[in-house]
Homo-oligomer: A and B are copies of this chain.
Amino acid sequence: MKVLIIGAAGMIGRKLTDAILRDQVIGDRRVEALHLADVIAPVPPASDSVKITTSTTDLTDPAAARALTVWRPEVIFHLAAVVSGQAETDLDLGLTVNLDGTRNILDAIRQTGEGYCPRFVFTSSLAVFGTPLPDVIPDDFAPNPRTSYGAQKLIGEILVSDFSRRGLLDGISLRLPTICIRPGAPNAAASGFFSGILREPLAGLPAALPVDPETRHWFAGPRGAVGLLLHAASVDTAPLGHRRALNLPGISATVADQIAALERVAGPRAVALIRPEPDPLVRDIVSAWPRAFAPDRALSMGFTAETSFDEIIAAHIEDELGGSLPLHDVP
């Protein structure tokens, strides 16, 4: 089977690539070839058994999108996006990449013709939801984005559902939880501190906490996210009908829950590295975000993610820190 990842140079894209090369199957189908596309040149990992190709592709160019489907991959992961902060600051950029880019790849698929109907996995986001929200969001609750990023993701979902209903592709839109612990350098996203308060102390570094400890949000780890994507690539989509967007399993945790897990795994010295730095702006943004879901449809289709922050932290230590904590005594 041929697999295409668009947005392959990003955080999830690289982890997904590694998982595919490790497993060499998706569902029960062997992956023979993998194409990595991103506007930033993807760096292909070595592989003996999977043929890897790459391209520097700007999805905002319809011809570039068409060039990706000529190859007729059976599975397409569409991860390319400008994320929330950028889409909010620069409306045109968000519309061009997140809306037009998505439409370009969808149009490229339907223009390929000759019965071409790939599995199309679209990374949407819980950012499609905006206040007022119930404590636990049921599957039939109306999304009302409060960011342009969320609006553009929601539009992508609608196109994926409609094109799937028409038999032009076999799509599934994953409303990913916030991915935590995001590896790498701190970034400016309003959600960044959720990762920072774990990642930095685990590396022996200080971290700022801009919100109250009782702030609650909905999370999955990077491994969980990759698992959700791979399941979406092989699950039977018949139960979805024309409703191709899914709320997903995750962990409903408060900042205090995160910190308690940090203390269990890395001890009080790690926790002591977190210093409260109240930021009313961040607090306001975050207070409008989903706190929990009851993702019944996704659960009934076998989607799973992590179930505790202890699990997420342990995976982070294994995947990012070489299996041990550099600067702490584990209690």
Give me the interface of A with B, judged by CB distance under 8 Å. Answer: 91, 130, 139-146, 148, 151, 154-155, 158-159, 161-162, 165-166, 242-243
Max count, chain B CB within 10 A of own CB: residue among A91, A140, A158, A161? A158
In the bound assembly, the distance between CA atoms of A299 and B158 in angstroms comes to: 28
A145 touches B158 (CB 8 A): yes
A166 touches B243 (CB 8 A): no
Q: Which of B141, B154, B159, B242 contacts A146 (CB 8 A)?
A: B242
A144 touches B161 (CB 8 A): yes
5 closest A-B pairs by beta carbon, nearest first, are: A151-B162, A142-B142, A144-B243, A140-B142, A155-B155
Asked if A154 meets B143 with Cβ closer than 8 Å, knowing A130-B242, A166-B148, the reply is: no
Name the distance in Å between A283's Cβ and chain B's nearest Cβ: 19
Count of this chain's copies in the oligomeric assembly: 2
In the bound assembly, the distance between CA atoms of A331 and B172 in angstroms comes to: 57
In the bound assembly, the distance between CA atoms of A141 and B138 in angstroms comes to: 10
A154 touches B144 (CB 8 A): no
In the bound assembly, the distance between CA atoms of A242 and B128 in angstroms comes to: 12
B142 touches A151 (CB 8 A): no
B151 touches A159 (CB 8 A): yes
Q: Which residue of B lies closest to A130 (CB)?
A: B242
* Chain B residues, Cβ within 8 Å of A146: 165, 242
Name the distance in Å between A248's Cβ and chain B's nearest Cβ: 15
Max count, chain B CB within 10 A of own CB: residue among A141, A155, A161? A155
Name the distance in Å between A110's Cβ and chain B's nearest Cβ: 8
Q: Which of B130, B158, B166 contacts A91 (CB 8 A)?
A: B166
B154 touches A158 (CB 8 A): yes
A141 touches B140 (CB 8 A): yes
In the bound assembly, the distance between CA atoms of A59 and B148 in angstroms comes to: 24
In the bound assembly, the distance between CA atoms of A148 and B158 in angstroms comes to: 9
B161 touches A151 (CB 8 A): yes
In the bound assembly, the distance between CA atoms of A165 and B131 in angstroms comes to: 13
In the bound assembly, the distance between CA atoms of A162 and B151 in angstroms comes to: 7
In the bound assembly, the distance between CA atoms of A227 and B129 in angstroms comes to: 31
